[in-house]
Amino acid sequence: MADTKVYRASTTAPVNIAVVKYVEPLRPDERIRKGNQARESITNHHPSPSRYWGKRDAKLNLPTNSSLSVTLSQSDLRTLTTASCSSTYTGDDSLLLNGEPSDVSGARTQACFRELRARRAALESANAALPKLSTFPLKIVSENNFPTAAGLASSAAGFAALVQAIANLYELPDSPSELSLVARQGSGSACRSLFGGYVAWRMGEKEDGSDSKADLVAPASHWPGMRALILVVSASKKGVSSTSGMQQTVATSGLFQQRISTIVPANMALMEDAIKNRNFPQFAEVTMRDSNSFHATCADTYPPIFYMNDVSKAAIRAVEAINAQAGKTVAAYTFDAGPNCVVYYQEEDAATVLGAFAPILAAAEGWKDGSVVNASVKLDEGIAGTIKEGVSRVIMTGVGEGPLKTDEFLVAEDGTPVKR
Amino acid sequence: MADTKVYRASTTAPVNIAVVKYVEPLRPDERIRKGNQARESITNHHPSPSRYWGKRDAKLNLPTNSSLSVTLSQSDLRTLTTASCSSTYTGDDSLLLNGEPSDVSGARTQACFRELRARRAALESANAALPKLSTFPLKIVSENNFPTAAGLASSAAGFAALVQAIANLYELPDSPSELSLVARQGSGSACRSLFGGYVAWRMGEKEDGSDSKADLVAPASHWPGMRALILVVSASKKGVSSTSGMQQTVATSGLFQQRISTIVPANMALMEDAIKNRNFPQFAEVTMRDSNSFHATCADTYPPIFYMNDVSKAAIRAVEAINAQAGKTVAAYTFDAGPNCVVYYQEEDAATVLGAFAPILAAAEGWKDGSVVNASVKLDEGIAGTIKEGVSRVIMTGVGEGPLKTDEFLVAEDGTPVKR
């Protein structure tokens, strides 16, 4: 009798926010080409570290530098993904993302499917009793628990959940670190979302990328009091700082080589040390310096890339004011490829840090009950006004766990997507 | 009979805008100390190029890198300074600046006075017939022909005029390059305002700074068609990007060493070549890249220094759009230590460049007759809106001459300031 069963497995996966940054460039085929970009540089002999960029290998998605991130709690930010397969499925592999069909023909997604199928196929070869899941079409359904409007990069959680869900479906014995090799090929930062807590992505040295993977620096339980307040900049304030259409890679930055050869290795060592010793002032300083350094190399590209805007800068000044008035470092800012500010702080300093932002952002969505505490820190009027005007939503969260297997399915037993 | 004459000499001096930048840091005694600044860095072993910074020698005001600027026309922007001295003057040396008494006790001004007096004293020693001007108190009166509200750094023109006026008063035989050694000690960029046209400030190598001076790359007549449109950002839009109170020097930037050791020397060579060959696309690309690189190192300091704001970035996008739509490079942006955008272009492209800005800035002060031409370049609505809202004044000018001796005096024959 033919196997007509619908096989299913579900997982959730977290978002992570890097404190030592690697943000991968758009691939050439993903970049929108416009005006300036087409013109050739006149100064080709300009000292440009282009040989360091892109990735060491574009296909394997190897990074130019190691990075380190904090995994955020899935109570607040997570992707839930169900992977299913069946001999009864017809057509190609498919992905339904937040209720919309999503293209899986891209090189990144295809690389993940291919790698995972190969691992399943190896198991099937070794054990003839196993159903031949590797030969069945995949039907994947995925949902985020946070609105797209939040403007958070969800590709890390998305690819981590995709890879983990299929690994669960295929009953692969691979460790999170081994799966991170696969997730990396979908989205670089996704490899860090396969662990909870404090996670390093070691760039590795090997040509085949087999040592470019994530590993655990410390679990969430090592330093559970780490909190994050995300200031989501309203879309109307993003203005001209958002420049995806005209981006170059950081290859054109003459300062980039210095960052990857000297600054990042030093920051990685300092950051691991800070985490090991739960040394928040050191964690904070390295986080802020690394964010500054990363955005500096972006602004040094030609044409320049600006992810931060005046609202972001007001958030930086606010964090500086909080630390100055507290008389010690209780908060750290960091920015990914966008204007949103992530403020790391410790639970014990919640009153000080939240107390500075809550009064001016009382109208913003996202505050949790009891979080609007008395304000001991007073922000400058200009800074407060810019933040009030520019931030429409906050996300209160903290360090959290890695992917969690779940019995919540987004694909029904008959193979149809679950209506929610 | 005692010499009771009031000796007078007047000069005008121009503003210059660097295309390969060196912006000197605030001296420790000029910096306002606040909160963050007092706290010591936790990561002192962070790779920091502090040994490269400040100046090579703070007292001699030696820079960390060479720089190159375009001198702007004095018809639009100039300082007029009269230096006078007399045995009848009582009290200390004095300076009246734009009608207000100005402190001359600072180390910078004192260094200029001391150097110039020493040169005069040497002449007087060699020729007993010369009046002993070096022993008389100096009374200096100075005025800018542009409003302070324009927010332009006037210290370059100011110190160049001060030094040249006293040199004229003392009838010093020194060349502009020799006087640049003196002006440099007042304000680094002032040394470049002793020449017209295209001017390099060679950082030099000698410990005593005797080779750290300005020289002429090309006179204005070599490339007379160079024009500059300055977009002056309104004070209300400067917001939190202006951070003078919390500035650190660039010493804390890990990327700064790369800029001064590699990027700037390459840009100097490319820029001199571009000017020699009147190659505007190359001039423009190096100008834009160098501005990006300079501001990147500022943003990489800890805490970060942001001179540009969202209006500045909109101006960058506007210049990119102008070049893209023109199908060739006709405009270049550059920013000094503030949000104002200086757009360099050639006279032959005036219609294209001015035509892009004039329609959206029709309400701004400063347009010259006939400058609002037909607009062939259309700017994106978001970019145009940000510029319209943020720019209150424009200055239309171009490359110009160096200091000019004049018979217009701001000190009357009786030694009193001229009422104007």
What tens digit of pLDDT does each residue of A121-173 get? Answer: 999 999 999 999 999 999 999 999 987 666 676 889 999 999 999 999 999 99
Buried b (16+ CB within 10 A) or exposed e, A144-168: bebeeebbbbbbbbbbbbbbbbbbb
For chain A, count helices (H), then strands (E): 10, 14
Chain B residues closer than 8 Å to A241 by CB: 310, 313
pLDDT given for residue A154 in this prediction: 80
Tell me whether B271 touches chain A (CB under 8 Å). Answer: no
Q: Give the C-alpha separation, A65 to A263, whole Å.
A: 10
Mean pLDDT across B397-415? 97
pLDDT given for residue B383 in this prediction: 95
Alpha carbon of B143: minimum distance to chain A alpha carbons (Å): 33
Tell me whether B389 touches chain A (CB under 8 Å). Answer: no
Token pair 């024959």 in the structure block, residue: B413
Residues recorded for chain B? 420
Buried b (16+ CB within 10 A) or exposed e, B148-165: eebbbbbbbbbbbbbbbb
Alpha-carbon distances of A347 from A45, A396, B7, rounded to whole Å: 51, 11, 71
Contact yes or no for B66/B203 (Cβ under 8 A): yes
Q: Give the C-alpha separation, B163 to B111, whole Å.
A: 11
User: CA A305, A309, A314: angle at the middle one, nearest 5?
Assistant: 145
The pTM assigned to this predicted structure is 0.90
Cβ contact, residue pair A296, B253, below 8 Å = yes
Indicate the Cα dihedral angle B63, B67, B70, B74, nearest 10°: 10
If you write DSSP's letter for every residue of A310-342 in order, what string do you get?
HHHHHHHHHHHHHHHHHTS--EEEE--SSSPEE
What tens digit of pLDDT does each residue of A50-76 get? Answer: 333 444 566 778 888 999 999 999 999
Residues recorded for chain A? 420
pLDDT given for residue B330 in this prediction: 98
Cβ contact, residue pair A262, B299, below 8 Å = no
Chain B residues closer than 8 Å to A271 by CB: none
Token pair 């410790």 in the structure block, residue: A346
CA quadruple B61, B66, B69, B74: dihedral sign: positive
Residue B61: pLDDT band by 50, 70, 90 thresholds?
confident
Residue B374: pLDDT band by 50, 70, 90 thresholds?
low
Chain B residues closer than 8 Å to A47 by CB: 262-263, 266
Nearest residue to B403 (alpha-carbon basis) of B118, B166, B91, B211: B166
Q: Which pair of tokens denotes residue B42? A: 């936790």
What tens digit of pLDDT does each residue of A203-234 get? Answer: 999 999 999 999 999 999 999 999 999 999 98
Percent share of chain A, pLDDT over 70: 85
Buried b (16+ CB within 10 A) or exposed e, A369-398: eebeeebebebeeebbebbbebbbbbbbbb
What tens digit of pLDDT does each residue of B334-354 get? Answer: 999 889 999 999 999 999 999
Q: Give the C-alpha separation, B362 to B219, whole Å.
A: 33
pLDDT given for residue A36 in this prediction: 30
**From B46, B254, B285, residue closest to A41, measured CB to CB:** B285
**From B34, B42, B386, residue closest to A281, measured CB to CB:** B42
Q: Give the C-alpha separation, A72 to A76, whole Å.
A: 8
If you write DSSP's letter for every residue of A34-87 in order, what string do you get?
-HHHHSPPS-TTS---GGG-S-SSTTTT--SS-EEEEEBPTTTSEEEEEEEE-T
Q: Which of B238, B250, B292, B386 to mutate to test the interface with A (most CBs of A within 10 A)?
A: B292
Look at residue B110 and tell me whether its pLDDT is greater than 90: yes
| B351 CB neighbour count, 10 Å cutoff | 16
Look at residue B138 and tell me whether its pLDDT is greater than 80: yes
Cβ contact, residue pair B314, A239, below 8 Å = yes
Contact yes or no for B171/B29 (Cβ under 8 A): no
Look at residue B325 and tell me whether its pLDDT is greater than 50: yes
pLDDT given for residue A238 in this prediction: 52
Mark residue B86 as left, alpha or beta (left: phi above 0; alpha: psi -120 to 50; beta: remaining): beta
Mean pLDDT across B245-250? 47
Cβ contact, residue pair A292, B286, below 8 Å = no
Look at residue B15 and tell me whether its pLDDT is greater than 60: yes
Residues 308-367 of A with CB under 8 A from B: 309-310, 313-314, 316-317, 320-321, 323-325, 329
Q: Which of A260, A317, A325, A334 to mutate to test the interface with B (most CBs of B within 10 A)?
A: A317
Residue A249: pLDDT band by 50, 70, 90 thresholds?
low
Percent share of chain B, pLDDT over 90: 76
Chain B residues closer than 8 Å to A299 by CB: 292, 295-296, 299
Q: Give the C-alpha separation, A256 to B297, whole Å.
A: 11
Q: What mean pLDDT is reported for chain B? A: 88
Structure ipTM: 0.88
Residue B234: pLDDT band by 50, 70, 90 thresholds?
confident
Look at residue A31 and tell me whether its pLDDT is greater than 90: no
Indicate the Cα dihedral angle A126, A127, A128, A129, nearest 10°: -170
pLDDT given for residue B25 in this prediction: 61
Q: Which residue in chain A is spatially nearest to B270 when comparing CA positions?
A: A43
Residues in CB range of A299: below 8 A, 6 or more apart: A305, A306, B292, B295, B296, B299
Alpha-carbon distances of A52 from A9, B32, B276, rounded to whole Å: 40, 40, 33
Q: Give the C-alpha separation, B191 to B182, whole Å.
A: 8
Strand order in the sheet with B331-334: B331-334, B341-346, B226-233, B391-398
Residues 12-51 of B with CB under 8 A from A: 34-36, 39, 41-43, 45-47
Cβ contact, residue pair A285, B246, below 8 Å = no
Tell me whether B386 touches chain A (CB under 8 Å). Answer: yes
Q: Give the C-alpha separation, A224 to A218, whole Å.
A: 10
Q: Give the C-alpha separation, A59 to A115, whole Å.
A: 13
Look at residue B144 and tell me whether its pLDDT is greater than 60: yes
